[in-house]
A and B are shown apart, each in its own frame.
Chain A
Amino acid sequence: MLRLKINGREHVIEQTLDESTPLLWVLRDQLGLVGTKFGCGGGFCGACTVHLNGAPTRSCQLRAVDMVGLEITTIEGLAGADGKLHPLQQAWIDNDVPQCGYCQAGQLMSAAALLRETPQPSDADIDAAMSGNLCRCGTYTRVRKAIHAAAANGRRRT
């Protein structure tokens, strides 16, 4: 049995899992949190990015058994509990960032971690923070634009 704290809630996995099972597959197959995507399984593409105590991490490279006691946040937990979208999610919609959309959960999780650390990022900050997230459709131009828009939105509110 495995207890994981995900999106502020404790999840209990009753099934006996092989110790090698990555967090990604526990999220997707055991818990049905399929917003976190499988893209490469090798830590190259970032589609599986989640937050671990706030830090962006590739869930395909983490063993689920090592995650006990840590705060895990997935794309399903990025919006507020009241359903209010994270400013980045809103900026993603406003700037029409997605094309096929498959990589975007990972992009958003990396961007959210960036804005928490660096509320007003430069293009170089964005390129550095987002370099681990591949987009096959080539939405990078709008990823940059939407992060700047969300940052500007944050400036206006403070």
Chain B
Amino acid sequence: MNARIHGGDLGVAALMDQAEGRVTAMPVSRREFLTVSALAGGGLLLTLGTRASAQAPPTGGAPPPGGPPRAAQILAPNAFIRIEPDGSIRILSARPDVGQGIKTSSAMTIAEELDADWSRVTVEQSPVDAAVYGSQNVGGSRSTPASWDPLRRCGASARALLVAAAAQGWGVPESECRTAASLVTHVPTGRKLGYGELATRAAALPLPDPASLKLKERSEYRIIGTRVASVDNRRIVTGAPLYAMDVRLPNLRYATLLRAPALRATPVSGNYEAVKRLPGVRDVFTIEGAGSGGGEAITAVAVIADSTWAAFSARQALKVLWDATKGSTDSWSASSKRARELAKSRGPQELRKAGDVDAAFAAAAKTVEAFYSYPFLSHATLEPQVTTAWMHDGGIEMWAPAQTVDAARPWIAQLLGLPLEKVTVHLPRIGGGFGRRLMYDFMTEAALVARRVDGPVKLVWSREDDLQYDYYRVGGFHALKGAVDAQGRLTAWQNHFISFTADGRGPASGGNMEMAEFPTAALPNVHLSQTLLPLSTRTGPWRAPRSNGLSFPSQCFLHELAVAAGRDHVEFMLEQLAALPAAGQGMNPARAAAVIRLAAEKSGWGKPLARGRGRGLAFYLSHAGYFAEVAEVSVDAQRKLSVHRVTVAGDIGLVVNPLGAEQQVQGSVIDGLSAMLGQQITMEAGAVQQTNFGDYPLLRIGSSPAIDVHFVNSDMAPTGVGEPALPPLAPAVCNAIFAATGVRVRELPLSLAGYSA
């Protein structure tokens, strides 16, 4: 089920290829499919889809009721535009919003090419149905690049129909008509018709030839590139029920699970009958573990009650004897100790070898050795995991904060032995993701519980559950050695990466090495090796998977080498980039150099600072986004760290919604700072030791720095921005601490060395 999720890099390589494409009017893809139809009562419905291949039609699903005609094969529309006779425009967003703003930016993209009056546009979440909507997944900063071209063509097609309808009505050539703000104007006579007036007639016309479809030049954009606020804001600030946690249904029951302290230990016996008799409690039973990977429910004891509090309270009264035979025995302290011993030599698995590092070390003017480590992290979405499930009418209906419903829905069907069309999933707004909602373990659990409950049941995770049964960002250890020559040039780089394996074969999710990570791609002498330590704890993607861990050792160590060489960090980095080929290797060195220069310029790099302050720089490329960040910090005698300012320079291609993009960057900086300061998940005897925000702290408002965000003005195709601003933050801050104090931090979180915010 979960090969896709546990594949590691979430299709980043394909994304990189796409990201290097320029913004041009591209020919319509053969797989794309548009249909136009009239709305009952007047108006136009335009549906954008992807035509499934005849050999492999999407599984199950009845045709959408009253929906567009099904042509040669089933269609999988992934956007709808409805234009009502009154001129209002409804855009249906197929992908859920986790706070990344996709609902807003995808509607902006359609509205741009449609030349719509944005004030008349509303955006709604579509129902879940793979047969109708195609992929409804979000994640990996892929929503924007994946839908950029199709959404633009969808909007342009609708616009072309409206223009054709107006031109025919007036008996004039289409070439004499212009559109703006939901109006078609006949330029020579000044006659105007609104989209609402034209919609019904336009719906009867044939679709424009995709080859003749003209997309706007960037200079013509009126909506893309403007600062547009989230379409859900009013509902959020008034406390409207938007989230899975808010689902209410008649006769709703509430469930909570008691899971074993050591992951996957199993219950032998317990005082279930006594707990059943507690007030407000309906039932107590065990659910057998099922599924694997991101959909795994572990064996647990379920409490069903009349309210969340009654369920939580009754759980406190449970006394369960656990059989630890199958339980995790993971120990972070033992792994850390082992890693420090292993660091003395190279790893048993050689990952990459170029030139001769030993010869380079022997010939070097200076060599530097360092050991870096970073911990496991939890996602800690502020909305804990939750799913409401209801078995009725021979099927199941679910409300879940799911980012990978494409995978979750067929899995639930398989688990319960139901045909796919009997699994209905609703996608509420999601109270934070950061990778956690790529998993659907909570849906498996809810389905298993719902099987035993008559009526709807809401499974609620407490904060403690959430921190202790997550799919964590995997921790890691790096034994690094580097060399510079007498001219101060970087000549060799060696990294023994000590990571973890869940299956005894490959690295755990997020625990794999980046082979061409900056600056190793162009270096003549490189040795990368790996040791994998056994792990039972579940791991998974966490914002900027893999890069979020790797950036810290590599970009701090690069600074260590610049210092050893007596070189300016900016100059040292640009020298490494200059050695890279102009294209290929997954990184465009010109784009990298541009963001480094921009961050340096905007941060006042090289200019004098107030006493006790230091600046630190780091660059990273992840999820096709190029980001350089400069942190300005000071540290007092009690090791209280003040991050005064973070200057961010990013290149994500064309910025669709600068307001939304800025938010993602600000959020990534705060997330990065939050994590590096005091967050760590530690396991001992297979049990996670942290319990709540008291021992897993999030950054508070008073510690959040000023954040300046600058985007390179780019004509590259847009890429996502939920992730790539995070990786440079931790190394930038640690490099700044060194600049301010001369103390090098090589272990995260900073609290381990006595730092506080």
The answer to the question of A55 belonging to the interface, with a C-beta cut-off of 8 Å to chain B, is no
A13 CB to closest chain B CB (Å) equals 11
Check if A20 sits within 8 Å of B239, measured CB to CB: no
Question: Which A residues are in CB contact (< 8 Å) with B248?
Answer: 32, 34
CB within 8 Å of A: which B423-467 residues: 429-434, 460, 462-463
CB within 8 Å of A: which B539-569 residues: none
Distance of A3 Cα from B236 Cα, bound (Å): 28
Question: Which A residues are in CB contact (< 8 Å) with B234?
Answer: 93
Distance of A74 Cα from B232 Cα, bound (Å): 20
Check if B99 sits within 8 Å of A18, measured CB to CB: no
Closest to A96 in B: B229
Contact A18:B280 (CB < 8 A) given known A99-B663, A138-B671: yes
Return the CB mask of B305-317 against A: 1 if under 8 Å, else 0: 0111110110000
Check if A39 sits within 8 Å of B309, measured CB to CB: no
Question: Which A residues are in CB contact (< 8 Å) with B232?
Answer: 98, 101
Q: How large is the interface on B (under 10, 10 to 19, 20 to 34, 35 or more residues)?
A: 35 or more
Return the CB mask of A77-100 against B: 1 if under 8 Å, else 0: 011000001000100111011111
Contact A104:B237 (CB < 8 A) given known A20-B313, A99-B663: yes
Question: Which B residues are in CB contact (< 8 Å) with A94?
Answer: 229
Question: Which B residues are in CB contact (< 8 Å) with A97?
Answer: 233
The answer to the question of B382 belonging to the interface, with a C-beta cut-off of 8 Å to chain A, is yes
The answer to the question of B698 belonging to the interface, with a C-beta cut-off of 8 Å to chain A, is yes
Check if A100 sits within 8 Å of B239, measured CB to CB: no
Closest to A105 in B: B239
Check if B254 sits within 8 Å of A100, measured CB to CB: no
Check if A38 sits within 8 Å of B308, measured CB to CB: yes
Question: Which A residues are in CB contact (< 8 Å) with B170?
Answer: none
A150 CB to closest chain B CB (Å) equals 12
The answer to the question of B701 belonging to the interface, with a C-beta cut-off of 8 Å to chain A, is yes
Contact A41:B233 (CB < 8 A) given known A102-B382, A131-B700, A133-B701: no
Check if B240 sits within 8 Å of A35, measured CB to CB: yes
Question: Which A residues are in CB contact (< 8 Å) with B313?
Answer: 18, 20
Distance of A67 Cα from B745 Cα, bound (Å): 49
The answer to the question of A4 belonging to the interface, with a C-beta cut-off of 8 Å to chain B, is no
CB within 8 Å of A: which B227-260 residues: 227, 229-230, 232-234, 236-243, 245-246, 248, 254
Contact A21:B693 (CB < 8 A) given known A134-B382, A136-B432: no
The answer to the question of B381 belonging to the interface, with a C-beta cut-off of 8 Å to chain A, is yes
Q: How many A-B residue pairs have CB under 8 A?
A: 191
CB within 8 Å of A: which B638-681 residues: 659-660, 663-664, 666-671, 674
Check if A29 sits within 8 Å of B307, measured CB to CB: yes
Contact A138:B239 (CB < 8 A) given known A40-B463, A102-B431: no
The answer to the question of A16 belonging to the interface, with a C-beta cut-off of 8 Å to chain B, is yes
Check if B308 sits within 8 Å of A76, measured CB to CB: no
The answer to the question of B364 belonging to the interface, with a C-beta cut-off of 8 Å to chain A, is no
Distance of A42 Cα from B312 Cα, bound (Å): 13
The answer to the question of B64 belonging to the interface, with a C-beta cut-off of 8 Å to chain A, is no
Distance of A108 Cα from B237 Cα, bound (Å): 8
Closest to A94 in B: B229
The answer to the question of B536 belonging to the interface, with a C-beta cut-off of 8 Å to chain A, is no
Identify the interface centre among A15, A38, A108: most chain B CB within 10 Å of its CB: A38
Which of B227, B233, B693 interacts with A92 by CB under 8 Å?
B233
Check if B307 sits within 8 Å of A100, measured CB to CB: no
Question: Which B residues are in CB contact (< 8 Å) with A127?
Answer: 701-702
B72 CB to closest chain A CB (Å) equals 40
Question: Which A residues are in CB contact (< 8 Å) with B280?
Answer: 18
Distance of A133 Cα from B699 Cα, bound (Å): 10
Return the CB mask of B94-115 against A: 1 if under 8 Å, else 0: 0000111100000000000000
Check if A74 sits within 8 Å of B239, measured CB to CB: yes
Closest to B248 in A: A32
Return the CB mask of A30-74 against B: 1 if under 8 Å, else 0: 101111111111101101000000000000000000000000001
CB within 8 Å of A: which B285-336 residues: 306-310, 312-313
The answer to the question of A130 belonging to the interface, with a C-beta cut-off of 8 Å to chain B, is yes
Which of A44, A98, A100 interacts with B694 by CB under 8 Å?
A44
The answer to the question of B692 belonging to the interface, with a C-beta cut-off of 8 Å to chain A, is yes
Distance of A92 Cα from B660 Cα, bound (Å): 14
Distance of A141 Cα from B236 Cα, bound (Å): 18
Check if B309 sits within 8 Å of A18, measured CB to CB: yes
CB within 8 Å of B: which A1-23 residues: 15-16, 18, 20-22
Closest to A92 in B: B237
Check if B309 sits within 8 Å of A98, measured CB to CB: no
Return the CB mask of A103-127 against B: 1 if under 8 Å, else 0: 1110010000000000000000011
Contact A25:B309 (CB < 8 A) given known A92-B237, A101-B431, A144-B701: yes
A84 CB to closest chain B CB (Å) equals 11
Check if A137 sits within 8 Å of B667, measured CB to CB: yes
CB within 8 Å of A: which B456-510 residues: 460, 462-463
Check if B382 sits within 8 Å of A41, measured CB to CB: no
Question: Which B residues are in CB contact (< 8 Å) with A76?
Answer: 238-239
The answer to the question of B416 belonging to the interface, with a C-beta cut-off of 8 Å to chain A, is no
Check if B667 sits within 8 Å of A34, measured CB to CB: no
CB within 8 Å of A: which B191-240 residues: 227, 229-230, 232-234, 236-240
Which of A37, A42, A45, A142 interacts with B245 by CB under 8 Å?
A37
Distance of A93 Cα from B432 Cα, bound (Å): 19
Closest to B99 in A: A100
Check if B233 sits within 8 Å of A75, measured CB to CB: no
The answer to the question of B604 belonging to the interface, with a C-beta cut-off of 8 Å to chain A, is no
The answer to the question of B531 belonging to the interface, with a C-beta cut-off of 8 Å to chain A, is no
Question: Which A residues are in CB contact (< 8 Å) with B707?
Answer: 141
A63 CB to closest chain B CB (Å) equals 11
Which of B312, B380, B433, B701 interacts with A143 by CB under 8 Å?
B701
A106 CB to closest chain B CB (Å) equals 9
Which of B240, B693, B701 interacts with A131 by CB under 8 Å?
B701
Which of A35, A102, A126 interacts with B701 by CB under 8 Å?
A126
Distance of A109 Cα from B313 Cα, bound (Å): 28
Check if A96 sits within 8 Å of B659, measured CB to CB: yes
Question: Which B residues are in CB contact (< 8 Å) with A35?
Answer: 238-241
Check if A41 sits within 8 Å of B462, measured CB to CB: yes
Which of A18, A29, A92, A144 interacts with B308 by CB under 8 Å?
A29
Question: Which A residues are in CB contact (< 8 Å) with B227?
Answer: 96
B340 CB to closest chain A CB (Å) equals 32
A43 CB to closest chain B CB (Å) equals 9
A113 CB to closest chain B CB (Å) equals 15
A18 CB to closest chain B CB (Å) equals 6
B704 CB to closest chain A CB (Å) equals 4
The answer to the question of B60 belonging to the interface, with a C-beta cut-off of 8 Å to chain A, is no
Check if B245 sits within 8 Å of A38, measured CB to CB: yes
Question: Which A residues are in CB contact (< 8 Å) with B309?
Answer: 18, 20-22, 25, 29
Question: Which A residues are in CB contact (< 8 Å) with B660?
Answer: 96
- Of the A-B pairs whose beta carbons lie under 8 Å apart in the complex, a sample of 20, sorted by A's number, is A21-B307, A21-B309, A29-B254, A32-B248, A34-B245, A34-B246, A42-B693, A75-B238, A93-B229, A98-B236, A101-B242, A102-B243, A102-B381, A102-B382, A102-B431, A131-B700, A134-B382, A141-B666, A141-B707, A143-B701
The 10 closest A-B pairs by CB, nearest first: A35-B239, A138-B670, A100-B99, A102-B431, A75-B239, A44-B693, A101-B236, A127-B702, A138-B667, A96-B229
- 19 extra A-B contacts, CB within 8 A, seeds A92-B236, A128-B702: A18-B309, A25-B307, A36-B239, A40-B692, A42-B692, A75-B237, A98-B237, A100-B98, A100-B382, A101-B431, A103-B382, A131-B702, A134-B382, A134-B700, A137-B432, A138-B671, A139-B667, A140-B699, A142-B666
